[in-house]
Chains A and B, each alone.
Chain A
Amino acid sequence: MRRVLVFLWLAVLTASPGARAAAPSIISNLANPAIGVNGLFLCQGAPDLDQAYGMRPGEAEISVISTVDPYWTLTVYFVLDAQSALAEEAFATTTKIPGVTLKLGQLRASFGKHGLLHTHAFPFVQAPVISVNTLGEEGFKDAGAEAAWMTPLPWFCELTLGAYQALPADPDHALDFGAVSRGNMPGLAHLKNLVDVDDDTTLEVGGSAIEGLGSDGMHHAVWGADLTVRNVPLRQSNERGWTVQAEFLHKEAYGGGVYDQEAFGWYGSLQYRWAQTWWTGVRVQEAYRSFTDTLLDSTGTPEPGYTRGASANISYLPSEFSQIRLEYSALRATGVDGSRALDRRLMLQFSFIIGFHALHAY
């Protein structure tokens, strides 16, 4: 593994300026795949956390993508930080089937909106509390297969069905799909609709559900609904724009006549771009029965509770390839026993891209 990574780093260092140069109109390199690296660094001052102010450990994401043959494209994302290096995603896609994109390998499930984002594409430094408590900080990632069918309806209407490997809950998997029975195949359904309201504005409405059998014998499921209105004025597509987004997530467990409503909550955000180089954003959120970094019970162990909070940020993008973001966020949590906790943070985040610029979905 380490040797592979060293090789990749060398490949990036020697090949990054040429990686873009060698790519014709569409991703394709014969000798080398297109390689991109994103570096993310964070400075934080958090008076409510037991941490020194200053630089936090950063992370680098390496994306490697290439056409395999006329049938397949392979994409791999490595994430490197101070403690670990892992292939976070490694999947093959094909567009040989009319109307359908087939994706298989280690992948990020097509659930909702925020759960699809890589860390460096987060519109706010931290993921919403409810996202962390339902799917996981960076969405649901697992080995599996997904088929996304674009229906022939007059607008963009996509139905995705997925099936994944059964895995128990761990720090990277908020969902317990760990039953060892043969019949346990966690599955996903996702419906995404997008319509052009006018030349500049789109309206997106989506619904997602994921379900599987846990190691406790219970069914575990998350369902979500999302609404996004996005405006990119075509005459100023590189200068102006705004996005209003809201997402609701709900996690539950059931089986044997028992129903347990676990975490649920929502966030709503506005991002606004007023110049080629400036973005700003605000987000409000609420989460019930959810864990946070600061809410602890009398014995000092994390306990679930009700949280609500708000974040505001301003981002400066001197070019397409770098970004500096200043963000303030405040979160207030109340535990079941009435305990209270605050989590206030002032953050300064730096993001850099070299090599192939992995493209972001609209």
Chain B
Amino acid sequence: MIEKEDCMNILRRIIVGTVLSLIAAAASADLKVATSIEDLASVATFVGGAHVKAFSLCKGYQDPHFVPAKPSLMRLIRDADVFVSVGLGLDEGWLPLVLPGSRNPRIQPGAPGFVDASEGVAVIDKPVGTVSRAEGDVHPLGNPHYYMDPANLIVVASHLARVFAELDPANATVYERNAKAFAAKMQAQSKAWEATLAPYHGASIVTFHRNFEYFLARFGLKRFGTVEPRPGIPPAPRYLAELAASMKREGVRVVVYQPYFDANASRGLASRAGGAAVEAPTEVGGVPEAGDVFAKFQVDVDRIAVALQAGAAR
């Protein structure tokens, strides 16, 4: 038999517990930041430090071109303070559903909490002349995989520091300091990565999609071709046979692919050309070792350097 007093005690405990956990939740981070891809969440974490809780809607091992617009994603950003979009059309297949679906006025385009991270980035591959889908599912605003160049992430970091400072002025100096530290670390690391890849300057590789363009430009490598004949169009056997033959002719021995692309097509192509296929993530979390943006570039640089060395030795 439960006494009335016990009931009151239990009720009081529930109320106090709820209030305390609400306070704890509110105090744990000043800004809740949601992003399209893991790389942007990683940069936001470096810039925000203890004041920001950042998470990505697209997982690192997931194709950022095809994110299912699940209502559960809308729920995740219902009370976010900031949303960081990749921009340049990479997330246009799902964001126009998920963002309004969140029913969160603070992160809609035009609101202070919406960030297009591509702002201020020097965009490459902007199509010239007529854009037509006869070329496949092209990115008409230019190549949106700019997060594959360490220098562009420095631009993103200072952009995020400005936005965080505006929304949370109390910690403005922290955000600015963190962004500067991030830039310094990224510059130092870039020098090391450039040194690792310097022996292979001018070497050509094959990528699955045109998502390594910024990386190749930064580190002095060249794209020989792509496993997919046109963006979003799967390769036919004859196309792969022709590509393998020309790779063999030109001595191109490295094929780079991502966890969400057809590994068999990449491996088959590489073995026919007498080379090797390398899984090199374009997004943070693509492979377990790529835990943040620094680790991602480290994995890519190391794996590509090893493959190029092996290819040259053959």
B105 touches A95 (CB 8 A): yes
Which one, A19-27, A112-120, A172-180, is touching chain B?
A19-27
**Which chain A positions have C-beta within 8 A of B74?**
150, 156
Complex: chain B residue closest to A195, CB-CB: B72
Q: Which of A93, A195, A239 contacts B100 (CB 8 A)?
A: A93
User: In this assembly, does A234 line the interface, its C-beta being within 8 Å of a C-beta of chain B?
Assistant: yes
Residue of A21, A70, A202, A359 touching B93 (CB-CB under 8 A)? A359
Asked if A261 CB lies within 8 Å of chain B CBs, one says: no
Known A25-B95, A235-B61: A98·B103 in contact at CB below 8 Å:
yes
In the bound assembly, the distance between CA atoms of A263 and B155 in angstroms comes to 61
Asked if A277 and B234 sit within 8 Å, CB to CB, the answer is: yes
Pick the contact of B69 from A149, A238, A359 — CB < 8 Å? A359
**Quick one: which of A18, A21, A202, A319 contacts B137, CB cutoff 8 A?**
A319
Within 8 A of A (CB), among B103-137: 103-105, 108-110, 116, 118, 127, 130-133, 136-137
Q: Is A236 touching B88 in the complex (CB atoms < 8 A)? A: no
Residues of B contacting A99 in the complex (Cβ-Cβ under 8 angstroms): 78, 103
Complex: A357 Cα to B67 Cα, angstroms: 15
Q: Which residues of A contact B75 (CB under 8 A)?
A: 150, 154-156
- Whether the pair B110, A70 counts as a contact (CB closer than 8 A) is yes
Of the four ranges (under 10, 10 to 19, 20 to 34, 35 or more), the interface on chain A belongs to 35 or more
Interfacial chain B residues near A43, Cβ < 8 Å: none
Q: Is the CB of B70 within 8 A of A362?
A: yes
Q: How far is the CA of A282 from the CA of B185 in the complex (A)?
A: 56
B130 touches A235 (CB 8 A): no
The CA of A319 and the CA of B61, in the complex, are separated in Å by: 22
Whether B87 and A20, one on each chain, are in contact in the complex, defined by CB atoms closer than 8 angstroms, is: no
B58 CB to nearest A CB, Å: 9
Any A CB within 8 A of the CB of B224: no
B114 to chain A, nearest CB (A): 8
**Known A24-B87, A320-B137: A202·B105 in contact at CB below 8 Å:** no
Q: Is the CB of A23 within 8 A of B89?
A: yes
Asked whether, in the complex, the Cβ of B71 is within 8 Å of the Cβ of A237, the reply is: no
For chain B residues 144-182, which have a beta carbon within 8 Å of chain A?
none
Given the complex, which residues of A lie within 8 Å of B118, measured CB to CB?
A: 25
A150 to B131: give the CA distance in the assembly, Å. 39
Complex contacts, A93 vs chain B, CB 8 Å: 100
Chain A neighbourhood of B91, CB < 8 A: 25
Can you list 16 residue pairs at the A/B interface with Cβ under 8 Å?
A: A17-B132, A17-B133, A23-B92, A24-B88, A26-B99, A28-B109, A95-B102, A95-B104, A101-B103, A155-B75, A156-B71, A196-B70, A234-B59, A234-B62, A235-B61, A361-B69
List 4 other contacts, CB 8 Å, given A26-B109, A237-B260.
A26-B85, A150-B78, A237-B67, A238-B63
Nearest 4 Cβ contacts at the A-B interface: A21-B140, A156-B71, A234-B62, A238-B66
Q: Which residues of A contact B (CB under 8 A)?
A: 17-18, 20-21, 23-28, 70, 73, 93, 95-101, 149-150, 152, 154-156, 158, 192, 194-196, 199, 202, 232, 234-239, 275-277, 318-321, 357, 359, 361-362
